[in-house]
Amino acid sequence: MAKDGDAVEVFRDGKQTVSFLYIDECIEGVIRFMKSDFKGPINIGSEEMINMNEFIEMIIKTPNKDFSIKNIPFRGVGIRGRKSYNTLIENKLK
């Protein structure tokens, strides 16, 4: 368990972006695609992007906690960001 003063480790520079969505939205999207005639890969997500440092900063603002961010090197291959293409989703599922 993290203690006050601990650092939260974030791979790379923390500027890689992600998009989040509520689980019920994800389930609804999957069910709609299963019922559709669409064939092919698709990302289901929000169009709102947040970088990992910003995300961790939101989390560490928990009352009565004092954390910092420690960006650590990552030798693997990673992506800089991924975003849902919601225009395709809107066209296929209305």
pLDDT in tens, 14-50: 888 888 889 998 899 889 888 988 888 887 888 888 9
Q: Which two tokens stand for residue 55?
A: 């995300």
> How confident is the model at residue 2, as a pLDDT?
67
Per-residue pLDDT tens over the stretch 77-92: 677 777 777 787 788 7
pTM of the model: 0.65
> How confident is the model at residue 5, as a pLDDT?
80
Provide the greatest CA pair distance for the chain: 52
The rounded Cα 94 to chain-centroid distance in angstroms is: 24
Task: Compute the distance between CA of residue 67 and CA of residue 7 in angstroms, rounded to an integer.
Answer: 6
In the predicted structure, residue 68 carries a pLDDT above the cut 80: yes
Give residue limits of the domains in the chain: 7-93
Query: How many beta carbons lie within 10 A of that of residue 49, not counting itself?
Result: 15
What are the DSSP E strand ranges found in 1-94?
A: 7-11, 17-18, 50-51, 68-72
